[in-house]
Structure 1
Amino acid sequence: MKNVFALFVTLLLCINCSTVTKKKQLMAGASSSNINPNVGMFIAGDKKNRKFTGVHDSIYAKAVVINNGESSLAIVTLDCIGLLYPDVQKIRKRAASLISTINLPAERIIISSNHVHTGPDVVGIWGASQIESGVDDEYMEKMIETTAQVIAKASKNLDPVSTRYSAGTFGEKWVHNISEPEIDRSLTVLQFLNDSGKNVASLTNFACHPTIYDAVHNEVSADFVGVFYNEMAKEVKGEHLFLQGAIGGWVQPDKENQSFEIGVKRGTELANAVKEQLKQMKPMESSKIQFANSVFELPVSNPGWSQLSKLGVIKREIGETTTTEVAWFSIGSAQFITHPGETPPAYSFYSKELMNSEPKFVMGLTLDAMGYILKPSYFEEGTTIPHAEYLTRMSAGAEAGPTVLEQIDKVIPK
């Protein structure tokens, strides 16, 4: 009888050991590199035919790769006005080809832009004239390769991590929607810590155009986002990624005198707010990774887009529709949804209502940058919404917004 009992205890111990062995361990790795353009290249944002005269502060490609032994994904942010879907696909394909240590499918590489207006023209519409592209092909090849290499390097830097998060609000004094009262002021932070408690990477999701320096400076800069990165690094080592939110319709900073000093002030304020939230973080226990995406045709009723495509100003096939994508993914309880352009705050609120756990991230200008994706009310005849005329001119059309909402509803699990 004693032998039977001993055997039973041994079996229980083996089962428990097996369970511990099979428990998934979340791993994370991060990397970054500057993607500075050359002096003389065209500047994206505001007026055409503006060229860089120097570098005030570097712009970056930053990546964090997450793996749990079974599934992987990468989150990438670029200091640029907005990378178009065909170039996103090039980065995904190249990065996937470089990674051999883990299984990271190309579609699980999420490329986001922060919409800075003091970076290079990566779209084409800020060249010397309306019929001349402002894109430097040599730069684009280099930027795509550099970003792919950053992702590959992050995949080789994987360390066991614990995950924690916080959610607050920010920007009441200097961030405003200058078209409508609605605005998503959420400041959401997710952090990956190694076994020593040191930061591997943090993700900060906030909605505001980085346009303090817009149209008044001809030097390369990441605007207040660059200051945010520098201020965070002073006290919290490791990588920090700024994930742009829903800034369409039209979420702007108070620009005051548009000096570099104002950019430093605002970027420092953002960093200080995040540092305060880091003191109040909640742990996330789950290491589960989930992913869903939808590649679809976005309606394009604005003839300007197709004309620019035909002229080669924008190097992308655009007719009555153009191919784009939205993706939903989760890391533990943290849920993320991507928006393929500058969406209004209402679309951020809608997306978050569909997600049933905390924290919630809405990533604007992610996987694509198809201009302003607006509510149909912006297109109504006689509308009194401020700036509607400009915003609709830079939009794919009235059907784009509802179509994106349909796809968001499709990919977020119920």
Structure 2
Amino acid sequence: MTKQNFLFCWMGFLLLVVSCQNSKIPQLQVGVSKAIINPPIGSYIAGDAQNRTFTGVLDSLYSKAVVFYDGEKSMAIVTLDCIGLLYQDLQKIRERTSQLEFDIPFSPENIVISSTHTHSGPDVVGLWGKDFSESGVNKEYMDFLVQTVAEQIHKASKNLQGSTIRYGQSEFGEEWVANICQEEIDRSMTVLQFLDKNKKNIVTLTNFACHPTYMDAVFSEVSADYLSGFYKEMEKEWGGEHLFLQGAIGGWIQPTDKDGGYQKALQRGQKLALSATASLLKPKNLPKSKLNFQRKTVFFPVMNEAWQQLSAAGIIVDRKVTDVIESEVVWFSIGEATFASHPGETAPIYGMKTKELMPEGPRFILGLSQDALGYIIKPSYFENQNLPHAPYLTRMSLGKETGNVLMEELTKLSQQNKNTELPN
């Protein structure tokens, strides 16, 4: 063999080695699926007064599932257009999902359910029936919802494709979003986008905090509220799918320009989507894509006897409430993006404190995720009933210790996530 041929052979060998190494670089696989989850006409409406029922549909509600798989671990994020799914129903979804066969290693424990909190969706809690003598939950609908969510997770896992990840961040809502308790507010909006091999959108995850209550007590039709406008505009701009992850809306983050008009809701959602789009015009890339997932069962103290009474009366269905209530929090990361769940409507201060525990990179606070335990507010609201809206907020809360317990558990999970995090 001549020296020249030897060099050509050696260079070919090196290229083959590099090629093999590159093929082993982990790439996050992402799959998405969605289904309409409109309740039957005549079902009870969650939010505002009791004994309100649906008479029609303005726009559809969705269950949207995205499954992530990094070659070793997998997980699912599901958003539901409803007031807030309870922990016992998450457990039913996990049980149903466990009966399905997946092509990838998948644990139902790694399912995250986040509710958008629309006040024009079905009563999935039980509080908005005819009166407190009966629950407003339609059991047949709940069976349908559990089955649908499990199916969408399964379908999403069949749609996996390689992705690259980028994100955008901005501030939003100065004109129309306020903390009507006149305290802290977090206006940050974070968008995480997953692109396919052709740089087309697979799915976006958008995190922002504001009650979807433009339609509350005004219409009797099904609606995702301003999120309907958000979904439509995002689909128009990007194609693919789009999940809205509600933030820390307790204590009390509301639209300030409600005029009773449906078009106003759609316009606000459209502007939110346009802001999300603008933040992605100069995106930052996420070089890492490994998954890291931590979860913790938490027993929150119940200082509000009304929760125990509602459980005993069967208004809150299939939920045991004593001097404690069993719930769950999760802390996970997708590459450099960090997520933490709040099992209710948390005051913005708890969202800000949670973000302080997170490393640099995109940060997501998932309000009304894994559970819906009412308002999680500062202890001062229990100590001083003269604070704005304190009588209502405390009446809809477990008690003054909920926020402290939540932050203790999230602090522990953040440390566990840090200790188990591996480089790409």
TM-score (norm 2): 0.94
For each residue in 1:266-299, what CA deviation from the matched residue of structure 2 results, as whole angstroms up to 9, or x when unmatched?
A: 1111111111112121111112110111111111
For each residue in 1:145-187, what CA deviation from the matched residue of structure 2 results, as whole angstroms up to 9, or x when unmatched?
A: 1111111111100111110001111001100000132001011
Q: Which amino acid aligns with 1:375?
A: K
Cα deviation, residue 92, structure 1: 2.2
* Whole-angstrom distance in 1 between the partners of 2:375 and 2:68: 30
Number of the residue aligned with 2:421: none
* Whole-angstrom distance in 2 between the partners of 1:4 and 1:191: 47
- Tell me if structure 2 keeps the 8 A contact 1:49–1:126: yes
* Whole-angstrom distance in 2 between the partners of 1:6 and 1:265: 63
Cα deviation, residue 68, structure 1: 1.2
Number of the residue aligned with 1:294: 296
Number of the residue aligned with 2:128: 126
Choose from 263, 266, 274 the match for 2:265. 263
* Whole-angstrom distance in 1 between the partners of 2:97 and 2:253: 33
- Tell me if structure 1 keeps the 8 A contact 2:385–2:391: no
- Tell me if structure 1 keeps the 8 A contact 2:292–2:333: yes
- Tell me if structure 2 keeps the 8 A contact 1:180–1:385: no
Report the secondary structure of 1:232's partner residue: helix
Number of the residue aligned with 1:86: 88
Q: Map 1:76-225; keep pairs closer than 5 Å.
A: 76-225=78-227
Q: Which amino acid aligns with 2:320?
A: E
Report the secondary structure of 2:346's partner residue: coil
* Whole-angstrom distance in 1 between the partners of 2:199 and 2:15: 31
* Whole-angstrom distance in 2 between the partners of 1:46 and 1:327: 30
Cα deviation, residue 12, structure 1: 5.9
Number of the residue aligned with 2:228: 226
**Cα distance change on mapping 1:10 and 1:261 into 2, 3 Å:** closer
- Tell me if structure 1 keeps the 8 A contact 2:179–2:185: yes
Cα deviation, residue 8, structure 1: 8.4
**Cα distance change on mapping 1:195 and 1:18 into 2, 3 Å:** closer
Mean Cα displacement is larger for which, 240-249 or 24-33? 24-33
* Whole-angstrom distance in 1 between the partners of 2:110 and 2:30: 15
* Whole-angstrom distance in 1 between the partners of 2:27 and 2:210: 35
Report the secondary structure of 1:98's partner residue: coil
Number of the residue aligned with 1:397: 399
* Whole-angstrom distance in 2 between the partners of 1:11 and 1:194: 30
Choose from 329, 333, 353 the match for 1:330. 333
Number of the residue aligned with 1:73: 75
Cα deviation, residue 409, structure 1: 0.5
* Whole-angstrom distance in 2 between the partners of 1:150 and 1:376: 39
Does 2:401 match 1:363? no
Report the secondary structure of 2:375's partner residue: coil
Q: Which amino acid aligns with 1:354?
A: L
Cα deviation, residue 91, structure 1: 1.3
Q: Gaps spanning 5+ residues in structure 1: where? A: none
**Cα distance change on mapping 1:310 and 1:251 into 2, 3 Å:** same
Mean Cα displacement is larger for which, 193-202 or 383-392? 383-392
Cα deviation, residue 6, structure 1: 9.8
Does 2:342 match 1:339? yes
Report the secondary structure of 1:296's partner residue: strand
* Whole-angstrom distance in 2 between the partners of 1:294 and 1:5: 58
* Whole-angstrom distance in 2 between the partners of 1:405 and 1:337: 11
Cα deviation, residue 262, structure 1: 1.1
* Whole-angstrom distance in 2 between the partners of 1:303 and 1:378: 17
Cα deviation, residue 203, structure 1: 0.4
* Whole-angstrom distance in 2 between the partners of 1:136 and 1:411: 35
TM-score (norm 1): 0.96
Cα deviation, residue 21, structure 1: 3.3
Number of the residue aligned with 1:241: 243
For each residue in 1:16-68, what CA deviation from the matched residue of structure 2 results, as whole angstroms up to 9, or x when unmatched?
A: 44432322111111111110001111000010000000111100000111111
Number of the residue aligned with 1:46: 48
* Whole-angstrom distance in 2 between the partners of 1:99 and 1:84: 25
* Whole-angstrom distance in 1 between the partners of 2:8 and 2:240: 49
Number of the residue aligned with 2:379: 376
Report the secondary structure of 1:412's partner residue: helix
Number of the residue aligned with 1:318: 321
* Structure 1 runs of 4+ with >4 Å offset: 2-15
Identity of aligned residues (%): 52
Aligned pairs, number: 413
Choose from 406, 410, 413 the match for 1:411. 413
Root-mean-square deviation (Å): 1.8
Cα deviation, residue 257, structure 1: 1.2
Q: Which amino acid aligns with 1:201?
A: V
Number of the residue aligned with 2:356: 353
- Tell me if structure 1 keeps the 8 A contact 2:207–2:247: yes
Q: Which amino acid aligns with 2:95?
A: K
Q: Map 1:274-289; keep pairs closer than 5 Å.
A: 274-289=276-291
Mean Cα displacement is larger for which, 361-370 or 89-98? 89-98
* Whole-angstrom distance in 2 between the partners of 1:248 and 1:405: 15
For each residue in 1:196-254, what CA deviation from the matched residue of structure 2 results, as whole angstroms up to 9, or x when unmatched?
A: 11111000000000001101110000000111101111221110000000000000011
Q: Gaps spanning 5+ residues in structure 2: where? A: 419-424
